[in-house]
Amino acid sequence: MGDYLRLLTLSDRAIPLVDLQRAALTGAVWSVDHPGMLGNYLAIGPKSDENQNVWATVERNPVGPNTLGAEEVAEFIDSLEGGGPPSAVRWLADYLESVRAIYAIRIYPEAMGDSADAFQAVFAVRSALRNAVGGIGQWDGLGFTSEDDRLIWTDPLSNPSGQTAASFLDESTGSWISFSLNLDDPEELDHFLRGEVRPRRH
């Protein structure tokens, strides 16, 4: 897993900090002063206000003219042709054009270590964000996930690995077909990238 987990949402709804604090049952969430981004920069860690021992940070980047969020979206769109499947490239290109905000969760692996509490807190906050505003995911080293949080696009040059829940878009019906994808199997990955998946329904 890479150092960033992103949530790209079509909603510009503000999420109360207390909602994220309630979600992190095994840790703490607090606001951190950040020049130019007051109220948009949060920390997740074992104890509130301990900025030297942070497990992860959350940054909200709105997407609009001349914003960092818009630059990120443009970079994501430019990167789509480097991966697949083709149906996901087309779907993502349309979806990304409508994104209103990006929540970037930066992971600090050394601080997290092997702590179950750290992993639970970070993923609980991500789940709370996703439940509040919806959206798709972007995982460094893996790719994009659907609104159901299943892998729909990956770049083979990022060397994705592991067994993961995936979905394939059937463009003739507009429906997503769910299956389990073994990224360590070169043949299975190649079929997925070319859009020639023969999914195992479950």
Residue 50 lies in a domain: yes
Residue 199 lies in a domain: no
Residue 77 lies in a domain: yes
Residue 186 lies in a domain: no
Q: Which residue has the tokens 């149906």?
A: 87
For residues 3 and 105, what is the distance between their CA atoms, to the nearest angstrom? Answer: 8
The DSSP code sequence of 56-74 is EEEEEEE-STT-HHHHHHH
| Residue 199: predicted pLDDT | 47
The answer to whether residues 4 and 107 touch, using CB atoms and an 8 Å cutoff, is yes
Sign of CA dihedral 123, 1, 70, 39: positive
Residue 20 lies in a domain: yes
The answer to whether residues 92 and 80 touch, using CB atoms and an 8 Å cutoff, is yes
Q: CB count, 10 Å around CB of 15?
A: 18
Residue 177 lies in a domain: no
Q: CB count, 10 Å around CB of 181?
A: 24
Residue 187 lies in a domain: no
131 - beta bridge partners?
none
For residues 65 and 73, what is the distance between their CA atoms, to the nearest angstrom? Answer: 11
Its domain, for residue 36, covers 4-142
| Residue 197: predicted pLDDT | 60
| Residue 34: predicted pLDDT | 64
| Residue 1: predicted pLDDT | 42
Our count of domains for the chain comes to 1
Tell me the pTM.
Answer: 0.89
pLDDT in tens, the chain (202 residues): 448 999 999 999 989 999 999 999 999 999 887 665 544 689 999 998 887 889 999 999 999 999 999 999 999 999 999 999 999 999 999 999 999 999 999 999 999 988 899 999 999 999 999 999 999 999 988 999 999 999 999 999 999 999 999 999 999 999 999 999 999 999 999 999 998 765 444 4
Residue 99 lies in a domain: yes
- DSSP class of residue 65 equals T
